[in-house]
Each structure stands twice: as C-alpha cells, then as structure tokens.
Amino acid sequence: SQQGEEDPQALSIQEGENATMNCSYKTSINNLQWYRQNSGRGLVHLILIRSNEREKHSGRLRVTLDTSKKSSSLLITASRAADTASYFCATDAPWSGGSNYKLTFGKGTLLTVNP
C-alpha cells in the first residue's frame, strides 16, 4: 500500500503564481522527500526534510512537515513554465519492522504552469 498521498492530483496555475502541494502519510517516518518527474523521465530529488525538522527552504522551494498531523506541504514560489512536471512525496521509514529503510511514494501531483 502507498504511504504518501498527494493532494491535489492535478494543479494548473499561471506563471508567477505560487503552487502548493500537500502530502499525507500514515505511519511514523524518518524523513520525507519530494521528487520531481518531467514527462517520460526519471525522478529528480528536490528536498529532504527530517522528522525533527518543521520547515526547510531550497531556492524557490519551501517544505513544511507536521508529524502530529502526518502531513507535509511543498510550496513553489514564483512558478515558471519550466516547473511543469509531476511532483511526488516519498516517506522514508523502516521496511517490515527491520533495519532496512525504503522510500514509499505517493501517486503524485501533476503541476501545469501556463505561460
């Protein structure tokens, strides 16, 4: 079963606007990561936030994490047409109760930024 669930499934905005995507998850995590995927390409890591962090910034990206609500948000400010892509959250947690960790991905948010 998938741990993370993004909301909304699709988002269409104009260039220059901000885009906010949300992610909810079910179990305890070590960290939460956001990835971007351009159509037909592999995933590219954007940002990692650890379970003891509440907010993190990287350029135009701002990620928040609320472990009490088991949710995270990704904010892209001053969006550009080149930001058009699918965005996935992934939760990093021990697998099957053992010491190995694995990432579990949500279904993603398709962001379209119109010029």
User: Can the peptide bond before residue 94 be classed as cis, meaning omega within 30 degrees of 0?
Assistant: no
Residues that bind another protein (CB under 8 A): 1-2, 4, 30-31, 33, 35, 40-45, 48, 88, 92, 95, 100-108
Output 24 or 31, the one with its CB closest to another protein.
Answer: 31
CB of 31 to another protein, least distance (A): 6
Residue-wise DSSP of 23-36? EE-SS--SEEEEEE
| Site of tokens 């590219």 | 44
- Name the minimum Å distance from CB 8 to another protein: 14
CA distance 107 to 93: 18
CA-CA distance, 89 to 50, in Å (whole number)?
13
State which residue, 83 or 88, has the beta carbon closest to another protein: 88
Which C-beta is closer to another protein: that of 1 or that of 115? 1
Instruction: Extract the tokens encoding 63.
Output: 């990620």
Choose between 18 and 58: whose C-beta lies nearer to another protein: 58
In whole angstroms, how close is the CB of 98 to another protein at the nearest point?
9
